[in-house]
A = this chain, B = another copy of it.
Amino acid sequence: MGWGDLGAFGEPSKETPNLDQMAAEGMLFLDFYTANPLCSPSRAALLTGRLPVRNGFYTTNGHARNAYTPQDIVGGIPDSELLLPELLKKAGYINKIIGKWHLGHRPQFHPLKHGFDEWFGSPNCHFGPYDNRERPNIPVYRDWEMIGRYYEDFKIDLKTGEANLTQLYLQEALDFISKQQASQQPFFLYWAIDATHAPVYASKQFLGTSQRGLYGDAVREIDDSVGKILNHLQQLGISENTFVFFTSDNGAALISAPKQGGSNGPFLCGKQTTFEGGMREPAIAWWPGHIPAGGVSHQLGSVMDLFSTSLSLAGLQPPSDRQIDGINLLPVILQGKLIDRPIFYYRGNELMAVRAGLYKAHYWTWSNSWEEHGKGIDFCPGQSVSGVTTHTQEEHTYLPLLFHLGRDPGEKFPLSFASEEYQRAVGRISGLVQQHKATLVPGQPQLNVCDQAVMNWSPPGCEKLGKCLKAPESDPKKCSWPH
């Protein structure tokens, strides 16, 4: 989902009354970022509070290449990483993940081995349908074991766009919340639904209801679901005791436009890129009775801050034996403070850009390769900024491209290298980069090796269902990451 997909963020169809209401009752973050312009690394960053380059969710197979966890990935979240639910457990929290895990699907990466108590959802994206010979369909788990597979037991009709998944994930969330309220146990619910990822779907009641087509139907279903979750918290009388945060793991994927593509509002390009469209996200904090209604914040925020903020809410300290990139946003949310901190835009193993204040310096620019672009894969459809949306990886480390995101949120007009403003801003950002690089200890890259043998052939529980498939011979090789 992109920054521009909600009515509150200027989507012209204005079809998200519940999320808009959530913002009106809570705090809207206008300058909130994910940690990477795609799914797996962003989710790993959210749960560890650490940049993917630290927690291992990146590749060194190529320079500045995006990588994630398709089902032939060998790696996943290292045991050495401390995940938010592992820490929250110490304060008595029951932790549940509903939806897409995406931090590795081999046994050692199972979410219940990393702090979660319950899981309903899938380890990978809902790609498919597959033939279960070349490639198995993605399993859906309940806790330790699979209970079926996408397309087989959990229908997704790619022709009509109909699928009931968001409704299933919603019901699961409502039930979990009810259970926790009844047992008076504190909980952490990570509602990590698959929608609006392509192939886009919505359940029947939402199909055809949006001006925006199928993608809009999916957004409307998410909006409706969030409204139901918030309403449920209120009905149960625990809304003033429950902190809720809504955000996305990357900008809208414009390659899926117009049929399945979302909106990044006035920002440049989309998913896969380190331009604003790829990494600035819709973000809303909600906590009635604590967060003043109608608040708006320009705090530079990150999904990694949800790690530190959640720990703080639970009365816990972040781990002190490692670098944590997230900051505690409570002073921002509750007292309206602004904390001076940079945003680092990574693509794979490369620091592509840095934002400090309203300035953003690009050290490297790249949309995608000419080769991929020639195949019709376009991360910036209809947009082209000379020297900026480059199709070769362009290095600007000696003279970074600098933008003022207040005057030029669309990153169209680099500041003159000769200007005093440039010198001052780049001077400041260079200092931040030096500091960052000096203390950076990259983690072991987890997304380098792929192997058909590790795919979801025979997930735990497959025997009971008669759904075990025979894995091919192991043939590990470097994953191919074209972007």
Contact = CB atoms under 8 A, between A and B. Distances in A.
A136 interface: no
A414 to B, nearest CB: 10
A257 B413 contact: yes
Interface stretch (A8-16, A75-83, A111-119, A451-459): A8-16
Interface in A391-417: 404-410, 412-413
Contacts of A268: 382
A213 B406 contact: yes
Interface stretch (A188-196, A241-249, A259-267, A303-311): A259-267
A384 interface: yes
A212 B406 contact: yes
Q: Which of A263, A268, A406 has the most CB of B within 10 A?
A: A406
A48 B405 CA distance: 40
Interface in A280-326: 296, 298
A404 to B, nearest CB: 7
A407 B9 contact: no
Contacts of A3: 12
A211 interface: yes
A296 B14 contact: yes
Contacts of A11: 10, 266
Contacts of A412: 257-258, 381-382
Contacts of A266: 4, 10-12, 263, 265-266
Contacts of A358: 211
A92 to B, nearest CB: 38
Number of copies: 2
Contacts of A10: 4, 9-11, 265-266
A210 B409 CA distance: 13
A238 B28 CA distance: 34
A207 to B, nearest CB: 14
Contacts of A413: 257-258, 381
Given A11-B10, A266-B265, A382-B383, A406 B257 contact: no
Interface in A45-91: none
Q: Which of A14, A31, A405 has the most CB of B within 10 A?
A: A14
Contacts of A14: 28, 30, 296
A3 B14 CA distance: 14
29 contacts: A4-B266, A7-B296, A10-B11, A10-B265, A10-B266, A11-B266, A12-B31, A12-B265, A12-B266, A13-B409, A14-B28, A14-B296, A210-B406, A211-B298, A211-B407, A215-B407, A216-B406, A257-B412, A258-B404, A258-B407, A258-B412, A259-B407, A263-B409, A265-B266, A381-B412, A382-B383, A382-B384, A382-B410, A382-B412
Closest 5 CB pairs of A and B: A10-B10, A211-B406, A382-B412, A258-B408, A213-B407
